[in-house]
Chains A and B, each alone.
Chain A
Amino acid sequence: GAGVSQSPRYKVTKRGQDVALRCDPISGHVSLYWYRQALGQGPEFLTYFNYEAQQDKSGLPNDRFSAERPEGSISTLTIQRTEQRDSAMYRCASSSNRGLTEAFFGQGTRLTVV
């Protein structure tokens, strides 16, 4: 596609449910990043992939959070047993290679846990 696409745009879920957030990067982009942005804050790094390999997951807050990118393209961020504190905007970005190239961000998924 022309840009980074994230789905769904909005997700409301009940506490304790699992959610899966999808990111479709710009075609051909090697690197894919996940961020979480709380209201009034800057984005906070969660994890990133080069191709299908997860290179760094140091930002994942706990083991309820996981991410995959099995074919080196689309990625899914999964949150198990959601809690209210997980409510935030989740942003995905992709870049064309592993260097200091620009990362292009999607519009994000607004997750609300009730």
Chain B
Amino acid sequence: AQSVTQLGSHVSVSEGALVLLRCNYSSSVPPYLFWYVQYPNQGLQLLLKYTTGATLVKGINGFEAEFKKSETSFHLTKPSAHMSDAAEYFCAVTEGNQGGKLIFGQGTELSVKP
């Protein structure tokens, strides 16, 4: 069975600092991995996804993530945090070819301090 673990339910960084949100997955088959962002009172928005090919994936708003099979990880990073990055972030995995049938982690709330 697949699962996703996000380390840290709350992460706080200063504006301009590195953002690192951790995600580890468990899957018996090659996974497809996703990061979604949820702003208050809005739906989930896809930041980036990894399916096959290049293991470093770039997404919107300056975020990127690297698939590391040996570590079963897919951590999300951004070199310099902006106040507008404050939101909840979800890592998700799917094993099939149905991109919308996802198993989500519990989420990490990112706070950005001025």
Q: A residues near B, CB below 8 A?
A: 3-4, 31, 33, 40-45, 48, 55-56, 91, 93-95, 98-108
A41: nearest chain-B partner, CB-CB: B106
Q: Tell yes or no: B56 within 8 A of A by CB.
A: no
Q: Which residues of B contact A (CB under 8 A)?
A: 4, 9, 32, 36, 41-46, 49, 51, 90, 92, 94, 97-107
Identify which of B90, B99, B106 gathers the most chain A CB atoms within 10 Å of its CB.
B99
Determine if B101 and A42 form an interchain contact, defined as CB atoms under 8 angstroms apart.
no
Give Cα A3–Cα B94 distance, bound, in whole angstroms: 23
> Separation in Å of the A109 CB from the closest CB of chain B?
11
Q: How far is the CA of A48 from the CA of B101 in the complex (A)?
A: 8
Roughly how many angstroms separate A103 CA and B9 CA in the complex, as a whole number?
A: 24
Inside 8 A of A91's CB, which chain B residues have their CB?
Answer: 43-44
Please determine whether B100 and A42 come into contact, CB atoms closer than 8 angstroms: no
Check if B100 sits within 8 Å of A103, measured CB to CB: yes
Instruction: Say yes or no: A56-B32 contact (C-beta < 8 A), given A4-B43, A42-B106, A107-B43.
Output: no
> B12 → chain A, closest Cβ, in Å?
17
Contact of A98 among B41, B94, B97 (CB under 8 A): B97
The 6 closest A-B pairs by CB, nearest first: A42-B104, A103-B100, A105-B43, A100-B99, A105-B44, A33-B100
Which of B46, B90, B100, B102 has the largest count of A CB atoms less than 10 A from its CB? Answer: B100
A50 to B: closest C-beta gap in Å: 8
